[in-house]
């Protein structure tokens, strides 16, 4: 069973963004599976690095769409992205330095970070982006 399961509640109705959100969910599930199997740092380190890199890629794409649509809450949304990137960067750096081990608490943070961001922040831009796409 997946640690984070995709469901239609997580869909923002924008194919590009939904696909990227699914990819992030897949990466979190892959990271969780590796952790549960006791796979060493050699496996977890590149998975965490890939998750960090893809998060940045996703946020850049999402921000470009918001700017194109002239989303009025862009600055606040971008600030939320920057905070999340900083948190994941810190987690990755601590893990890379051997100061931190991935735990179920870390996985819960990643799960909540993604689902809370989609449901609480991303859903807010949907009307603006949808109106821009149909205009």
> Percentage of residues in the chain with pLDDT exceeding 70?
94
CATH number at residue 47: 1.20.120.50
Specify if 75 maps to a domain: yes
pLDDT of residue 131: 86
pLDDT of residue 106: 80
pLDDT of residue 63: 95
The per-residue DSSP string of 91-132 comes to HHHHHHTTS----HHHHHHHHHHHHHHIIIIIHHHHHHHHHH
Is pLDDT of 135 > 80? no
Q: How confident is the model at residue 132 (pLDDT cuts 50, 70, 90)?
A: confident
Specify if 67 maps to a domain: yes
Specify if 18 maps to a domain: no
Is pLDDT of 73 > 90? yes
Q: How many domains does the chain have?
A: 1
pLDDT of residue 87: 86
Give residue 80's domain range. 40-134
Specify if 6 maps to a domain: no
59: its two tokens: 């946020």
Specify if 111 maps to a domain: yes
Specify if 116 maps to a domain: yes
Is pLDDT of 58 > 90? yes
Q: How confident is the model at residue 93 (pLDDT cuts 50, 70, 90)?
A: confident
Average pLDDT of the chain?
87
Specify if 92 maps to a domain: yes
127: its two tokens: 């009307």
25-39 per-position pLDDT tens digit: 998 898 888 888 887
Specify if 120 maps to a domain: yes
43 Cα distance to chain centroid? 20
């Amino acid at each position: 069973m997946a640690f984070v399961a995709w469901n239609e509640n997580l869909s923002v109705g924008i194919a590009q963004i939904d696909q990227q959100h699914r990819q992030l969910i897949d990466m979190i599930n892959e990271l969780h599976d590796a952790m549960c199997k006791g796979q060493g740092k050699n496996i977890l380190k590149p998975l965490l690095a890939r998750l960090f890199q893809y998060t940045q890629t996703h946020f850049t794409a999402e921000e470009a769409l918001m700017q194109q649509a002239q989303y009025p809450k862009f600055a606040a949304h971008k600030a939320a992205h920057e905070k999340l990137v900083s948190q994941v960067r810190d987690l990755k750096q601590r893990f890379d330095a051997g100061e931190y081990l991935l735990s179920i608490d870390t996985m819960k943070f990643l799960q909540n970070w993604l689902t809370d961001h989609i449901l609480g922040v991303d859903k807010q831009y949907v009307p603006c982006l949808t109106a821009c796409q149909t205009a």
